[in-house]
Amino acid sequence: MTQPLKIRIASHTTAGIKSINEDAAACELPADEFLLASKGVMALVADGVSSAEAGKEASETAVSRFVEEYYNTPDTWSVARAGEKILSTLNLRLYRKSHEFVTSTKGYLCTFSAVIVKSRTAHFFHVGDSRIFLFRRSADGPTLKQLTRDHAVMMGGDKPTLTRALGMDNRLNIDYGTAALKPGDMLLVTSDGVHDFLAEDAITTALLSGQKAQALVASLCARAEAAGSDDNISASLLIVDSLPEESLEDYHAKLTRLPFPPDLEPGEKLDGYRIDNPLFASARSQLYQVTDEVTGASYVMKTPSRNYEDDASYIDRFIQEEWIGKRIHSERVVKVVSAGRQKNFLYYLMEFVPGIGLDKWIAEHTPPSPKRAFALIKDIAEGLRAFHDNETVHQDLRPANIIVTPDERAVIVDFGSVYVAGVAEQQRPIVHDAALGTASYSDPLYIMGSNPGVQGDVYALATIAYEMFTGHLPYGDQIEECRTAFDYSRLRYRDAAMFNPVVPIWFDAALKKGTAFELSERYRTVDELLLDLQSPNPLFLQDEPVTASDASSLAFWKILSGFWFLTLLLVIYLFSQVR
């Protein structure tokens, strides 16, 4: 049977002996099953800095906004990215409000500690001197482990001084970490009004009391007050009853509730869609152009290959394709369309993008007009940026997966090998194979079993750009046969000018850097690659011979390099010769 994530939650906050409570505490357990799986359960505490005029407002804002915004972040984002993005924004908001005050001792300052349980892992974010504890029972007895460290130092006086807090600086330095969980674990978040007055033994005793969650945190806070706490007192608690764990059989059964469609022929119908034209077929999938008989709209239907009806990993990937496609929003990426009716078979629909594959476009336009080719490269980069903004890596970018429309715009049309950070954090009993990319365009690190992240897509884009301008691959066709680091070490980059003499040295140097095998030598993002392709990097500028071949291509490169003084003089000279 499938084992769900089951957690009990509770939080309690009180002013204690003070007249105002500047603490804020909360827990959140989504009722929606999808949110529970994709975002998890959280507990958090924020402690407003007493010496700040708006500590109460700061802590309440931090807690309420974090809860609200976290569950509204894209579900493709990892916990780390979602939390850090929200907290960076919150910090800057509080910092700016703090500087509305004349005196530096007043402002919107608070500590912040939050723990999020997603799948079988606890993720924690921490700044200040609140604390997060992990309590666990074992055969050797119960243990209470502090997961965070205090950001405070003694500088004279009775109480330590905070060195970090939300709203203290315009840039936030926050601690992030993870911990593997077991059923029965408890995660406790406390303000200093609790842990400064209760020793860990006393906290352990309270957690062993067997009380219900809400009574337990209230009792813990009462114990702190009885122990002489002179501060606001807050605690939030998560009690892990069970963690998600599925047997292979259960998981496979869930994925295969829908049968694979049969091979389809023009004129046949499936779930109200008429098959108009087979577009593509391989050992892994089929594509058909179809018409919705209700609306008349034209779509592309992707169906799984019946060769994989018993392959749980394949089925999982296929289902993931549709899920990811619905969350990538860009004019340069094909749109995945909701069926709007009950499915009786496993497939998904995409918008129909007219045009030809980039592989055919390259074959018909070698060498291409540089202006037209570079416009397509920019489109592809824009599509990749939409993936990367959602913490998704394509992993199989190649000309056959890109359509060039009749007005010469590029659209990425495949999701089959994508890696999603948010999905990777979820516990799954099925381990996917390594990236399924094509050796000619895939980062060699994929072939050798590593994951280069977004830099893998940088490599693919640079390889495609090289092929567009030369009609060849940067390392030759031998790269298809490489399988080991030694194999790749024998390859040498071939200068693009060998095949297209109008390619400038600086442009070729950018392509070489983009296709470097070592990640440390490669561009980190597609934006970095694009910048050096459209504006000469001074580090790449060298003397290069000027030829009169292909005047229109040469003019493009001179315009692109025009702001560089020496090239500008050359352009002026050429124009003067025309006169």
Domains of the chain: 6-245 (3.60.40.10), 249-351 (3.30.200.20), 356-578 (1.10.510.10)
**pLDDT 10s digits, 170-220:** 889 999 999 999 999 999 999 999 999 999 999 999 999 999 999 999 999
The rounded distance, in Å, linking the Cα atoms of 430 and 412 is 28
Which DSSP category does 160 fall into?
A: P
Q: Among all chains, which residue has been given the structure tokens 């529970």?
A: 36
2 token code pair: 């499938």
CA 79 to chain centre: 9
Q: Which residues of the chain have pLDDT under 50?
A: 1, 104, 544-550, 563, 568, 571, 575, 578-579
**Residue 375 confidence (pLDDT):** 97
Neighbours of 531 (CB within 10 A): 13
CA separation for the pair 200, 434 (Å, rounded):
45
Q: Measured between alpha carbons, how far is 451 from 243 in angstroms, rounded to an integer? A: 27
Specify the pLDDT at position 570: 52
How far is residue 116's CA from residue 43's CA, in Å, rounded to a whole number? Answer: 7
Burial of 352-361, coded b for 16+ CB within 10 Å and e otherwise, reads: bbebebbbeb
pLDDT at 157: 67
**DSSP structure class, residue 166:** B
Measured in Å, how far apart are the chain's first and last C-alpha atoms? 83
- Which H helix or E strand runs over 153? strand 152-153
| DSSP bridge pairs for 202 | none
The torsion angles phi and psi of 305, rounded to 5 degrees, stand at -75, 135
H-helix or E-strand containing 313? helix 312-325
Say what the pLDDT of residue 266 is.
97
Q: Are 393 and 434 in contact (CB under 8 A)?
A: no
- The per-residue pLDDT for 340 is 74
The conformational region for residue 215 under phi > 0 = left, psi -120 to 50 = alpha, else beta, is alpha
Q: Would you say the pTM of this structure is higher than 0.85?
A: no
